[in-house]
């Protein structure tokens, strides 16, 4: 579970590595071009020099971990095996939250049974949500950051040339079409008259695109980008799991969107590491916009107030024991927030996430079980 919880840092979709590279040409109208372009840095241009002067000097991960490379996280070894590189681009470390979301949705439906058919359906839904559509999301994010990474992290797979741009484009389309195909198959298997899961997958894919791609590029705005991220990792897989085994109702939609505010708070955690770089590049992350002191309270407030509100909702609907269980899970979260995060959000971010986030994840399941009864 620890690996699943620590993926919250990666939910930011590599946001800590984002810079607003004004010296590079963005793809026209955000389109995906098969034209191979060289990623170059014009060192003679003053503006690019200013960018480079404010970005820490980062070297390739010499002697890095092969395990980290396969998970798609920092400290990865440099690989030449094309399939390992393809897997790295999908960042498998970010899949577990989507898988957990499907579990919560299936539990909330109240119709999941431990039969071979239901287990097979849920695994297929997890495959759609994790490796396919999250893999698509992560790959397209790296694609649209390729010119920025050519300055910031030139050793990453795309700017280093370890994988060609055409191969990346093919991967994006294969993962997207595979995810949408699985969604359609699940609708048929569930006997849906309206292809609910397909449209959820299509909407999530569009959200992923506008999150990473210009001209909208939602991740440039701390509020909108973080909430979109929270919705993608909490609401969408929950909706898919519940629609697969039951009925997706308006109250569940509202409840999970509310929980996405907690996801917004979680996404802020990783912003504290890149305050200086974000400020220099004009990115309006919340620590940049409000300052670190205010932002850390926004972060914990978004998480705690959301869960307290959900617990209040459960209490108001007569789910006393579930509400008390959720309140009980909030208490250790608050303790760890004061012990680690509020003291120093940069120094203790990993300890905070490892100690506090398990209670948030369990709270999601408690809420899902409560709505099923």
Upper half-sphere CA count for residue 192 (Cβ side, 13 Å): 22
Q: Is-contact 106 241, C-beta < 8 A?
A: yes
Q: Is-contact 371 258, C-beta < 8 A?
A: no
Give mean pLDDT, residues 124-132: 97
pLDDT at res. 203: 96
Backbone dihedral region of 30: left (phi > 0), alpha (psi from -120 to 50 degrees) or beta?
left
Q: How many other CB atoms sit within 10 Å of the CB of residue 154?
A: 16
Percentages helix, strand, coil for the chain, rounded to the nearest 5?
A: 75, 0, 25
Cis link prior to 97 (omega < 30° from 0)? no
pLDDT in tens, 3-50: 444 444 444 444 444 334 443 444 444 444 434 444 433 433 444 444
Q: Is-contact 287 268, C-beta < 8 A?
A: yes
pLDDT at res. 10: 43
Q: Is-contact 65 75, C-beta < 8 A?
A: yes
Weakest-pLDDT range from 11-20, 102-111, 229-238: 11-20
In angstroms, rounded to a whole number, what is the distance separating the alpha carbons of residues 189 and 331? 41
Give mean pLDDT, residues 114-143: 96
Weakest-pLDDT range from 70-79, 81-90, 100-109: 70-79
Q: Is-contact 134 89, C-beta < 8 A?
A: no
pLDDT in tens, 190-226: 999 999 999 999 999 999 999 989 888 888 888 898 8
In angstroms, rounded to a whole number, what is the distance separating the alpha carbons of residues 206 and 315? 36
Upper half-sphere CA count for residue 324 (Cβ side, 13 Å): 3
Cα pseudo-dihedral 338, 313, 324, 326, rounded to 10: -50
In angstroms, rounded to a whole number, what is the distance separating the alpha carbons of residues 120 and 92? 21
pLDDT at res. 361: 87
Residue whose tokens read 């994790």: 130
* CA angle 145–147–148, rounded 5-degree value: 65
Confidence (pTM): 0.76
In angstroms, rounded to a whole number, what is the distance separating the alpha carbons of residues 258 and 253? 9
């Amino acid at each position: 579970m620890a690996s699943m919880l620590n993926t919250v840092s990666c939910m930011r979709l590599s946001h800590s590595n984002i810079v607003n590279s004004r010296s590079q040409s963005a793809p026209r109208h955000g389109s995906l071009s098969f034209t191979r372009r060289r990623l170059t840095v014009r060192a003679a241009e003053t503006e690019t020099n200013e960018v480079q002067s404010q970005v820490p000097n980062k070297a390739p991960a010499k002697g890095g971990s092969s395990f980290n490379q396969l998970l798609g996280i920092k400290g990865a070894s440099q690989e030449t095996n094309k399939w390992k590189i393809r897997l790295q681009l999908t960042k498998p470390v970010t899949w577990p939250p989507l898988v957990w979301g499907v579990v919560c949705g299936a539990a909330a439906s109240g119709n999941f049974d431990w039969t071979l058919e239901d287990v097979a359906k849920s695994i297929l839904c997890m495959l759609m949500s994790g490796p396919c559509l999250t893999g698509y999301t992560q790959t397209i994010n790296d694609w649209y950051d390729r010119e920025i990474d050519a300055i910031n992290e030139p050793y990453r797979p795309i700017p280093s040339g370890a994988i060609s741009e055409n191969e990346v484009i093919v991967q994006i389309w294969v993962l997207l079409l595979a995810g949408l195909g699985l969604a359609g198959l699940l609708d048929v298997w569930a006997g849906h008259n309206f292809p609910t899961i397909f449209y959820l997958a299509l909407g999530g894919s569009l959200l992923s695109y506008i999150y990473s791609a210009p001209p909208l590029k939602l991740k440039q705005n701390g509020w909108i980008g973080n909430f979109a991220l929270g919705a993608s990792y909490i609401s969408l897989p929950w909706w898919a799991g519940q629609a697969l085994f039951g009925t997706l109702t308006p109250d569940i939609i509202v409840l999970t969107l509310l929980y996405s505010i907690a996801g917004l708070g979680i996404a802020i955690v990783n912003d504290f590491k890149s305050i200086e770089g974000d400020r220099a590049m004009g990115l309006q992350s919340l620590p940049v916009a409000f300052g670190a002191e205010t932002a850390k309270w926004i972060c914990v407030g978004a998480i705690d107030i959301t869960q307290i509100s959900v617990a209040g909702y459960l209490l108001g609907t007569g789910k006393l024991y579930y509400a008390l269980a959720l309140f009980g899970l909030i208490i250790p979260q608050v303790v760890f927030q004061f012990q680690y995060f509020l003291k120093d959000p940069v120094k203790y971010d990993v300890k905070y996430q490892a100690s506090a986030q398990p209670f948030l994840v369990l709270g999601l399941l408690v809420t899902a079980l409560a709505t099923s009864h």
